[in-house]
Structures are given as structure tokens and as C-alpha cells.
A and B are shown apart, each in its own frame.
Chain A
Amino acid sequence: MSLRRQPSEERLLAFAAGTLSFPEAVVVAAHLSLRPVTRPWADLGAAVGGVLLDDQAPETLSSQARREVMARLDAVEPEAEPRPASADPVLPAPLDQFALGPWRWLGPGVHVRDVLGTRQGDCRVILLKIASGQSAPRHTHGGVELTCVIDGAYATEDGVFSRGDFEEADPSVTHQPKVVSKEPCLCVAALDGQILLPGRLGKLLAPFVRL
């Protein structure tokens, strides 16, 4: 199968249906904002949801349900226009709303910062910055599940991934992406569990670096 660099159709349907975990939805939303070409799949999922909604057999509402809502209308202000273009030209718009934790050193040429307020269970969103020529921390099953490149580029044995490209971790494959751009590679990732650092250094640091 050729390299898609976008979420699978079934993951885009899950995004539209609302069954992805919050961190996964954040990374998919980042991809959608950088890659309009993928949006029709998410829109298709929402359209299917709309048809299923229209086809529901109506459930009876309590007698006061409508009156309660109508009584509140005057107190509700229309929402402001959509936000202006991203303040940060590099970060995808869906990340604008989150505060970011400090950069932390994770290994040679590798820094990480938390995207705050995204945690759901063990899963959360991080930004990962890897210097030119460096490798990303090796991960095992239960590590980085979804990645979207924001800046720079990395290569795996499958090909090169650059801004907007999306990769789903395949638990059966342990690959170690290497940054091939001159500038550092910045990625947003949904992380489930712990990242394992490569080599002996990783083993030494493991007790001290909590991801």
C-alpha cells in the first residue's frame, strides 16, 4: 500500500463520529487545518452523522423542555466571529487555544513540551522538536500513536514526512525517524504511555525524565 500521509478513512470517520480520544482528535484536527485536501473525508463523516441524526425516531421531550430553551434565548449573545488567523504562523490553528508547557530536554537534540489541558487518561498531546540529523526517541507499542509534522521534515524507511503529513504508528513496526530538514523538525503527537529513549543514555535517564 502506498504511503498516504493522512489519517485512514476509519480514523477520519471516528473523528467525525466523536469516538476518538481527545488527544487523538487534537492531532487529527491539526492535520486537517494544514491539509485541506483531507477535509472532505471528515466532512463526509459529519454528513453521514447528519443523515443518521435526521433519521432518528424522535424521542419525547419533557413538557417544559422547549419553554425552558425559548426563555433563555434573549440572554444568549451571538458568538463572536471565528478567531483571527493563527497568532503563531507555524502552529496549526487548532493548537492556538492551548497553553504550552516549557520545553524540556529529552536527549541530544530532542526537546519536548506538553500541550496543556489535553490529557485524557494516559493519553495526551505533546510537541516534539528534534534537531537536524537527529533521530526521534524510539517508541514501542503504547508510545507515540499519532503524529503530524508542523515544521521541518523527517524520514523513515517508508519515505519523507513534512509539514501537514500525518503518520499513524504501526505497533508491528519499530522505526526510528531521522530529521532530514536543515531546520529542526517540529511535530505534534498524541502520546499514549511512555516514550522510550534510545540506547544506554535512555536507560540512564529513564528514571529522571518523565514524559
Chain B
Amino acid sequence: MSPSRALDELVLRVGESRDREAFAGLFDHYAPRIKALLMRGGASASAAEELAQETLLTVWRKAHLFDPARASAAAWIFTIARNLRIDHFRRGSVTLHELDFHLEAEEPAQPDAILSGAQDAQRVRAAMLSLNADQAAAIEMAFFQEQTHAEISRTLGVPLGTVKARIRFGMMKLRACIERDRGDAS
């Protein structure tokens, strides 16, 4: 079993039987990484740790809704952490988390969903290696630097249109790569 599938399995065990040992495994893998990701996004160490704890508690609460055909554990937990961060800084009454519940099982997965069953982190990681350095940098900055595309454009010293094109072609390349990979596998 690949490491990412093993993590999917832990979430499923928590969902099926409130398995505390499986949960502890998820905590040990993800809490330190969520803290790191949020600190890289500019959060203080204490805020990042608190949000990492809240993320794992949300995983405990929602694990039975996790659908591995729709998202990897990593992608699912990433969206939980992302939403909690946004809500933390926005302090609104309605949480973003409720917006993109499509990652959870509200209806059968689309047969043409490119990542169904292939959302395995290994495949996505392999596809990311196919990007050229500029595309990879633009996509990564869009995640970690809490920057708008205009800010990325200033940081890199390239026109806004170039930043958008790098992201767009990078995304298209990722998708093509994953689809080809899935075609080979079937």
C-alpha cells in the first residue's frame, strides 16, 4: 500500500469505528505539517498550532463523510485546514467549509472526474514533476504566499498575464498528465 493510501485508510478507520489509534496516526502525520503550512502562509506559531489542532478535531468529526474516490486524505485535510484558516481570519457567521462540500459524499462521483480513484498523491506528485520550473513556482506561490496573482507578478518581476499563463498552462499540463497516467493504468 502506498503511503498516501495508508493515510486514506486511517481516515476510513476513524470514520467507521472512531478508531483513536488511527486518529493518533493522522494527528502525528498531519498536525506538524499543517502547522508548517500555515506558518509558511504567515500565521504565528501559536495560531498555526491552534488551527492544526482544530483541523484534526474536524477530521475526527467528519471522517465518516470522507470519500476516497473523491479526494485523497491529504487533499481532504488540506481543504479543512484551508477553510478553518479563512474562517479564523474572516470571523464570519457562515463558514467557507460549508461551501465546497462537493469533496464529500453528497452524490456519486462523476464518472469523468479526472481524479476519481487516481487522486492518489503519487500520481499528482509525478505530474507536478513534469511542470517546468516557472509553472511549478507560479502554482506553488498561489498556495503558500497568500498572494494575489498581482502580488506574485510583482515578486517575480514578470507581467500579470505571464503569471496567469504559467498557472493556466501548468494546471492544464497537470490534468493532461494525470489523465494520461490513468489511461495507461486502465
Interface residues of A (CB under 8 A from B): 8-10, 12-19, 22, 25-26, 29, 32-33, 36-37, 39-62, 65-66, 68-70, 72-73, 76-79, 81-83, 93-94, 97-98, 117-118, 120
Contact = CB atoms under 8 A, between A and B. Distances in A.
Contacts of B74: 47, 50-51, 53-54
Contacts of A83: 101
A117 B115 contact: no
A118 B142 contact: no
Given A59-B32, A73-B23, A79-B65, A49 B57 contact: no
Given A43-B119, A61-B31, A22 B90 contact: yes
Given A25-B99, A65-B49, A73-B20, 10 more contacts: A19-B147, A22-B92, A46-B78, A49-B82, A52-B37, A56-B40, A61-B31, A61-B52, A82-B106, A117-B94
Contacts of A82: 65, 101, 104-106
B121 A41 contact: no
B77 interface: yes
A49 B158 CA distance: 24
A29 B139 CA distance: 21
The B contact surface, by secondary structure, is: helix
B171 A97 contact: no
Interface centre among A8, A51, A53 (most CB of B within 10 A): A53
A49 B139 contact: no
B72 A50 contact: yes
A17 B142 contact: yes
**Interface pairs A-B: 5 shortest CB-CB:** A50-B74, A58-B32, A50-B75, A18-B82, A59-B36
B78 A53 contact: yes
B175 A41 contact: yes
Contacts of B61: 76-79
Interface residues of B, number: 87
Contacts of B94: 97-98, 117-118
Given A49-B75, A73-B60, A54 B171 contact: no
B87 to A, nearest CB: 9
A39 B113 contact: yes
A39 B102 contact: yes
B102 A59 contact: no
A40 B111 CA distance: 11
A52 B144 contact: yes
A53 B38 CA distance: 10
A49 to B, nearest CB: 4
A56 B171 contact: no
Interface in B13-39: 18, 20, 23-24, 27-28, 30-37, 39
Interface in B54-109: 56-57, 60-65, 70-79, 81-83, 85-86, 90, 92-94, 96, 98-106
Nearest to A75: B57
Interface in B102-145: 102-106, 110, 112-115, 119, 121, 124-125, 128, 139-140, 142-144
B167 A9 contact: yes
B114 A40 contact: yes
Nearest to B28: A66
